[in-house]
Amino acid sequence: MSDSALGDRYSNLIEQIIQMTLKGNIRSKEQVYQMLVQEIEPDSGEIFEVKFRDRYMQTETQANDKSDELKQAKAMRAMRALKTLDGEWSRWQSENRNRSAIATAVRRLNQADKSDRLLIFLNLSDPNHPDSLNADQLKQVALTSRQQPISDPETQQELAQLSEGILRGFQSWNILQPHLVSWIYDPNQLGFEGSPKGINPWEVWAKQPIGENLKSFFEVLDRNDPVRFWAQDQPDLSVADWVELSIVVQTLQRGLVSWAENQSYSSKAGRSLCVSLFLTFALIWSELANGFAQSSSLNSIHRSRFSEASFRVTLQILRVFAQRDYFPLYGTIYTPFTGGHFREAMNYLSEPLKQTEGTQEKARILTLIGAAQRVFGAFDIAKEIHELAKEIAQEAGDRKCEIANLNHLSRISISQKQYAEAISTSQRALILSRQSGDRMGEANALANLGYAEVFQAQLLESDPDAYELAIGYLEQGLALSEKLKDLQSQALCALSLGSAYVTLNDVDQALKYLEQASYAAADAGDRYLHALCLANFGEAFYQEKDYSKVVFASAIAMYKLEQMGTTDWRAPAGLLTILRGQLGEQFDQIMQEQRSRLTTEIGVDGFDYLTELLDRYRQS
């Protein structure tokens, strides 16, 4: 039917509804709505909208015309009919959008190549898209797909699997939903570090009456085993199984983040938990992608599809995370949920992420990954990632992210003892941060600049004035970070001051600032900076010849840094090795004297591992 014919038809429909209302033949709003459902053709809402608005304006003009009271009264009655019609028209539009979205989704899934179908499913539910489908819509897609007549048997089977996975996923979510946060209130697991295993939901969820695949998945996480091994050992995993896993795990993650973001009792604690949650689930999906890609038990089609789809989920989670105002451009984050697999996941993420489209979110995600690579000692990779992130941030106009990457590049140069380059880069960051009013960027730039200046002055055997200038930068950075109440920047600045005074052999000042750094790092939850504080405490105590304290601080620092996967463990290991050579048997005696204190901090297994670490250092 032509647009003209539809226009006439809709004008008649509008007039019919008005006349029926005036005659008392419209009994309810539902009657009006059903007339719209029966008469309006798909994809012709704009034509009805034009005709309706024309009639509305015409009648409104007549209702405001007082020259003819009889016509005005009739027009006012017609306006009441049109207002009822307006409400039901809005309802029809909403329902039609829903029907249209579902129909479009079903059509896209039907017409998709087999290799793309999982990615299209993820695109339909991507939280980064404003028109992403909600749970009810996805369930409707599944039910509608089941009813579609499909001639190709393979496509029919694939869509049946997809539909089954969607419905099973939300059924499993309904079982798990009551236990979304119950594990947080377990009296045996108060706080993140309240039990030997730390607080986690995996054991609670694994005990619920869910499918065997989901149950085994949560059990692997509860044992703190790498989930990539679970992915590699799933020979019978079907499309339905993967879709169910995808829906359940993503819905749990979103539910936990929503709960944490709405914790009014402590916004700081809630934000810290949110950071951990986003990272945890992104890394889990990254590990799954890695595991599926390396699986020898899956067929080649499923291996490729499950790996690519899992990586797509990783990117979706990180994109959502990058848009949060608490996204950590600074600081080193370790999540308590995934044990020691952080490094492998970050390594796996780095390369393919560099190939994706450049966006502001991508720049922020790369910033996080680059910082992790620096901690791991992969300086060349970290530098490449931060340079790329800086360029993307610059193009996207994200000045804070650009400055953050300059600061990270400066820290890489410090780690590589390229102090002149570190000074130059931190000066650029300082200028840009002051120009743009980025106070956190300024505090970090001052910390990097002062730290690099101290070591540059030492390298050049400069006069005392050079040290005073460097210390001044560090003190400015510390004062600014205290004013901003930014604990991570406070920890970094105070640690840099403490380390500088260790270098200058001023033990009293060093211990003063290291203690401040240690408290700030602990309060910020930055385990990496806290471990570095312990390493520097060891250096300061060594200058005081307080060897018991050297052993205690350096041993804990060595163990914790090695467990994080960073090469920084070698510094305290080197100090302990020197001390062992100086003290001989007395060193072993001190170790035994400190055994009870050390096992309290790192456990019996950790204490036994110390000897292995020292042997590894000596042999390297």
Sketch the domain layout of the chain as residue ranges: 3-111, 112-148+155-184+198-327, 545-620
CA distance 249 to 246: 6
More confident residue, 369 or 609: 609
Task: Map residue 236 onto helix, strand or coil.
Answer: coil
Q: What band does 41 get if pLDDT is binned at 50, 70 and 90?
A: confident
CA distance 214 to 169: 10
- How far is 505 from 202, CA to CA, in rounded Å? 49
The residue to which tokens 């050049």 are assigned: 460
Largest CA distance in the chain: 113
Task: Return d(Cα 599, Cα 605) in angstroms, integer.
Answer: 8
Over residues 566-616, the pLDDT tens digits come to 788 999 999 999 999 999 999 999 999 999 999 999 989 889 999 999 999
pLDDT at 332: 59
pLDDT in tens, 101-130: 888 888 888 888 888 899 999 999 999 888
Ramachandran sector of residue 225 (left: φ over 0; alpha: ψ -120 to 50; beta: rest): beta
Confidence grade of residue 355 (pLDDT, cut at 50, 70, 90): low
- CA atoms of 393 and 402, how far apart (whole Å): 5
Q: In terms of pLDDT, which residue wins out, 42 or 10?
A: 10
Residue reference for tokens 């901690």 = 375
Cα gap 292→230, rounded to integer Å: 9
467-500 pLDDT per residue, tens:
788 899 999 999 998 998 888 788 888 998 998 8
Would you list the DSSP string of 39-59? HPPTT-HHHHHHHHHHHHHHH
* Torsion angle (degrees, nearest 10) of CA 4, 8, 14, 16: -160
Joined together, the tokens standing for residue 511 give 């211990």
CB 454 within 8 A of CB 471: yes
- Alpha-carbon distance values, 1 to 7, 16, 40, 96, 159 (Å): 10, 20, 12, 20, 33
Residue 291 to residue 306: CA distance in whole angstroms: 10
Most confident of 19-28, 372-381, 430-439: 430-439
pLDDT the model gives residue 2: 80
Across the chain, mean pLDDT equals 86
Rounded to a whole number of angstroms, the CA Rg of the chain reads 32
Q: Note the pLDDT tens digit of each residue in 66-100.
A: 888 888 888 899 899 999 999 998 988 887 888 78
Report the alpha-carbon distance of residue 481 to residue 46 in Å, rounded.
Answer: 56
- Model pLDDT, residue 567: 82
How sure is the predictor about 341, in pLDDT bands with cuts at 50, 70 and 90?
very low
Determine the Cα–Cα distance for residues 276 and 328; give it in Å rounded to an integer. 11
Q: Looking at the predicted structure, is the pLDDT value of residue 336 above 80?
A: no
The answer to whether the CB of 529 falls within 8 A of the CB of 567 is no
Instruction: With cut-offs at 50, 70 and 90, classify the pLDDT of residue 176.
Output: very high
Instruction: Give the span between the Cα atoms of 113 and 308, in whole angstroms.
Output: 15
Q: What percent of the chain has pLDDT over 70?
A: 91
Predicted confidence (pLDDT) per residue in 402-446, tens digit: 999 999 999 999 888 899 999 999 999 999 999 999 999 999 999
Helix (H, G, I), strand (E, B) or coil at 509: helix
**Is the pLDDT assigned to residue 193 strictly greater than 50?**
no
